[in-house]
Structure 1
Amino acid sequence: MPVKSPKVAVLLAAYNGMHWIEEQLASILGQSDVDVTVHISIDSSTDGTATWCAAYAAEHHQVVVLPDAGRFGGASRNFFRLIRDVDFGSFDFIAFADQDDIWHKDKLQRAVDAIQTRQVDAYSSNVTAFWSDGRTHLLDKAQPQVEWDYLFEAAGPGCTYVFSKKLAESLKAVMLENWQHLQEVTLHDWYCYAFARSHGYRWYIDPLPSMDYRQHERNQVGANKGLSPLISRYKTIHDGWWFNQVQLITKLVGQDSEPFVKDWLQLGRRQLMKLSLNAWRCRRRMRDKVFFFCICWTTALIGNKAK
């Protein structure tokens, strides 16, 4: 009797993806030792993505295009729509996908094996960023998880995330309860990681890259490599966006009443100084711990625009 392959629902958010989506879908449908169904949600596009996806789905029974839902304005709301509208009932695992990457053939198989053998609820991995000129760079996000990292960062690129059905259904239920406030979350991968960790679900970050992570001018969030992305990150923090998201996600996942969190959540000068001394508990990578310490002190000294 043949062994039943795990059934995986892949949630793919698309927007003006005609340059890359065919290659990405081929890499997803070519996954080894899993039964894949791809669910595509298309943000209102101008390059024919919707028409092309409909034709592709008509020829590939493993691909489903969700009905048009208008303009989302960003990947986060598009992924939240996918979680809300896709029925997970017949699937064993749920995975996220971007439209422009190339998955390694064993990406999902490795994720499923890790979840099962390590007895965890979620999986993410490192990725290999690549550029059109042939350059590549390993994005290493697999440092050991620390006590509060999930309130301040994601578990790596969301396009590597794979969830157990139990976690996915729990995530969906809480999302529906907080749907309006959830629309203010800018990064879905950060929120999903925070939800899982704050609710006692176990997460494994694989040090081996599972996909090639395409870099181009249309990336909403790309590889943080070099000085320019560091400057851009500082600007988002100085402008208040990052600390606003920290406060929002902390409240959405129900951690705002924790004693450690209550000590700094108002993000006043004294709270930020105190938070800086806990940098080692708040970020995984050493470089990010140092950056976190400096940002807390800088923001405390020059002011914070977060509300």
Structure 2
Amino acid sequence: MDQAFPESDCITILLASYRGAGFIRAQLDSIAAQTHRNWRLILSDDGSDDGTPGIVAAFAASRPAGQVQMIDGPRRGATQNFLHLLTAAPEGAIAFCDQDDVWFPDKLARAAAALSRRDGPVHYAARTIITDAALVPIAQSRHFHRPLGFRNALVQAIMAGNTSVFNAEAAALLRRCAAAARARNIESHDWWAYQVTSGAGAALIHDPRPALFYRQHAYSVMGRNDTVPAMSQRIGKLLAGDYGGWLAANHAALEAVRSELLPENRRILDRFGAALYQPGPMAAARMARIGLYRQTAPGTAALFAAALLGRLRQRGPSSAIR
């Protein structure tokens, strides 16, 4: 390894790109401006047919040799691209990165400091400043008040991937679990990461200070979730039935790596899996006994309403029920 990037505190940034020519240069420039200088970047491009590869190549040429690497993505969407990046990452700390955001200069430094204060695996995330396409600030993302943990992670994604940084132990955990997530075609890499880290007993940190500009534009893969229309849309999806399929895929991915989970969380996973195959009233009752919750009262109410109405129920062999 180049002596400019000693392994001890190097953070590998994992950036999934696809047709990002309109915004990616600003993101790359914000990475170059980080006060935490010891980083490397692996960018997985999913077959962009715009100027993205050329922009990345020019950026790589402006950096020290070996600091920036571009690889081919699996061309199966953003989630699969991030899981692919996990398998390509070397040992050590990692940070997920979206192509259209702009990081604050101290983003990595603050994350590194937070990670250094904990032992064992650690998963750090932060709030963001939501902006329009021109980076004009609109609002801060939500600050969550209920505890972070596995009972929340099973039913809600709140550790935003575009802010998430993992220490070496947490990154190794994700790498061990990535193949199962790819095979089960999970919906969201950051939701899955929150489930894996919380399930394994990692320390979870959600920084109330924003770490980046979260750009909203016409081609955003995931939009903001802090407005009444956005929250209503998510509750609508929860009630529509797609959400139940996402829960089942997540459960299958976690079941495949259950040995990584704490014993208590394996039992929770089993009870949750059983609930997904039960009729509505039984499913809602089981989930209530498990103690599952979302971060807001309306969100939790919608979860149990969806279960009660049978919107989360999966069809499958009885062996799926524990």
**Residues 246 and 220 of structure 1: CA distance in aligned 2, closer, same or farther (over 3 Å):** same
- What is the CA-CA distance between 1:306 and the residue it aligns to? 4.6
Partner of 1:152: 155
Cα shift readout 1:207-232 (whole Å, capped 9, x = no counterpart): 11111111111111121133332343
SS across alignment from 1:237: helix
In structure 1, C-alpha distance between the alignment counterparts of 2:307 and 2:200, rounded to whole Å = 30
Partner of 2:95: 95
Give the count of matched residue pairs. Answer: 294
Partner of 1:169: 172
- What is the CA-CA distance between 1:146 and the residue it aligns to? 4.5
SS across alignment from 1:145: coil
In structure 2, C-alpha distance between the alignment counterparts of 1:185 and 1:22, rounded to whole Å = 29
In structure 2, C-alpha distance between the alignment counterparts of 1:228 and 1:194, rounded to whole Å = 26
* Structure 1 segment 119-130 matched on structure 2, within 5 A: 119=119, 121-130=122-131
SS across alignment from 1:282: coil
In structure 2, C-alpha distance between the alignment counterparts of 1:222 and 1:295, rounded to whole Å = 21
Partner of 2:214: 213
**Residues 215 and 23 of structure 1: CA distance in aligned 2, closer, same or farther (over 3 Å):** same
Partner of 2:36: 33
In structure 2, C-alpha distance between the alignment counterparts of 1:146 and 1:278, rounded to whole Å = 16
- The 8 Å contact of residues 240 and 306 in structure 1, kept in 2 or not, is answered as no
- What is the CA-CA distance between 1:135 and the residue it aligns to? 4.1
SS across alignment from 1:9: strand
Partner of 1:266: 277
Partner of 2:3: none
Instruction: Letter of the 1:140 partner, please give it.
Output: R
SS across alignment from 2:99: coil
Unaligned stretches of 5+ residues in structure 1? none
Cα shift readout 1:31-89 (whole Å, capped 9, x = no counterpart): 113401111001111212123212322232321111x24522x211110010012222x
- The 8 Å contact of residues 13 and 79 in structure 1, kept in 2 or not, is answered as yes
- What is the CA-CA distance between 1:248 and the residue it aligns to? 2.0
**What TM-score do you get using the length of structure 2 for normalisation?**
0.82
Partner of 1:79: 82
Partner of 2:320: none
In structure 2, C-alpha distance between the alignment counterparts of 1:196 and 1:248, rounded to whole Å = 17
**Residues 180 and 304 of structure 1: CA distance in aligned 2, closer, same or farther (over 3 Å):** closer
SS across alignment from 1:64: strand
SS across alignment from 2:202: coil
| 2:108 maps to 1:108 | yes
In structure 1, C-alpha distance between the alignment counterparts of 2:63 and 2:143, rounded to whole Å = 34
* Structure 1 segment 180-195 matched on structure 2, within 5 A: 180-182=182-184, 184-195=185-196
- What is the CA-CA distance between 1:247 and the residue it aligns to? 2.1
Unaligned stretches of 5+ residues in structure 2? 1-5, 259-264, 316-322
**Residues 271 and 29 of structure 1: CA distance in aligned 2, closer, same or farther (over 3 Å):** farther
Percentage identity across paired residues of the two chains: 26
**What TM-score do you get using the length of structure 1 for normalisation?**
0.86
- The 8 Å contact of residues 96 and 161 in structure 2, kept in 1 or not, is answered as yes
- The 8 Å contact of residues 29 and 36 in structure 1, kept in 2 or not, is answered as no
- The 8 Å contact of residues 149 and 198 in structure 2, kept in 1 or not, is answered as no
